[in-house]
Structure 1
């Protein structure tokens, strides 16, 4: 039995297109994988720890030492966050575009879980080593935007959304990635775009 973990980076509830598409995806997944577990993680729910002290702990670990006191507490909270993320072998991210990139809560998630020995190793000669590679994990990402679109010029923005997040996924070793995109733009046909995104979400979910 597999576990699908949906991580949501949108705080807009019923008004969110990324969450709407995620519901289409998870419903199709449950229909096709009735024995699997599905968990939803709203990254805005306050469960992500602050990482100011954790950043100090990270450098303590990099130096080959053990975090203590407040650093140890921060490191333990970060570890629990990573373990929740790592508990699933199927990952679904709903990612709206904010100011050409991702919502800051998703960057917070990335910064909390991206730790030495958990997500990566580093060697002075060979560089980074991805710790999540070769473990059979699969990823689907829903990218949405309202203004930017792939066929528009730079006056409508730039895609630092999927370039940043896709690069992070591959850096961790997660390379089995499927994308669902919803970019209707200000003058596009939103109904057609919704139908196309929903159809792709269902197709991926059925065999995910």
Structure 2
């Protein structure tokens, strides 16, 4: 049995989000084909993910012994580490991902939980896991004057 973390980052509701229409359909088919897997849905807007609180950045660089899964910031890194697979679902807005997704990434990049430093530099601790990113966008960016602004596949 795998633990799949389904990370949703869109302020639109289920019925109006093209991203969620596609990603929810993907998740339903995944469940059908992988009935023993556990899907954990984390909707970043419903969760209320905000920017890192002032004065708490050090908690991400040096968690204190004993701080764990119930810590308001570190709990996301522990949840991410414990997952076997990831499904990210977000639109591209203003040529980038919603800020809430970047804020979430700040929450999960924690020294000693999801990565550590070696003599050769940082090294991830979430290795050998699979991820899929489902994203949508409006407008036409595949050719013409906006082609150079396409940030979904050119980054």
Q: TM-score w.r.t. structure 1 length?
A: 0.63
Find the residue that maps to 2:111 and give its secondary structure. Answer: coil
| Aligned position for 2:11 | 11
- 1:141 shift after superposition: 0.7
Distance 2:154 2:56 in 1: 26
| C-alpha distance 154-112 of structure 1, shift in aligned 2 (>3 A) | farther
Distance 2:24 2:50 in 1: 26
Find the residue that maps to 2:135 and give its secondary structure. Answer: strand
Corresponding residue to 2:133 among 119, 141, 146: 141
- Are residue 159 (structure 1) and residue 154 (structure 2) matched? no
Distance 1:128 1:22 in 2: 31
| C-alpha distance 58-36 of structure 1, shift in aligned 2 (>3 A) | closer
Find the residue that maps to 2:123 and give its secondary structure. Answer: strand
Which aligned runs of 4 or more in structure 1 are off by greater than 6 angstroms? none
Paired residues, number: 151
**Rg larger in structure:** 1
- 1:49 shift after superposition: 5.4
Q: TM-score w.r.t. structure 2 length?
A: 0.82
Question: Greater RCO between the two (CA within 8 Å, min separation 6)?
Answer: 2
Corresponding residue to 2:82 among 83, 87, 110: 87
Whichever structure has more helix as a proportion of its residues is 1
| C-alpha distance 54-93 of structure 1, shift in aligned 2 (>3 A) | same
- 1:84 shift after superposition: 2.0
Q: CA RMSD in A?
A: 2.7
Distance 2:105 2:5 in 1: 15
| C-alpha distance 12-118 of structure 1, shift in aligned 2 (>3 A) | same
- Are residue 106 (structure 1) and residue 101 (structure 2) matched? yes
Find the residue that maps to 2:27 and give its secondary structure. Answer: helix
Instruction: List alignment gaps of at least 5 residues for structure 1.
Output: 165-208
Corresponding residue to 1:55 among 54, 57, 74: 57
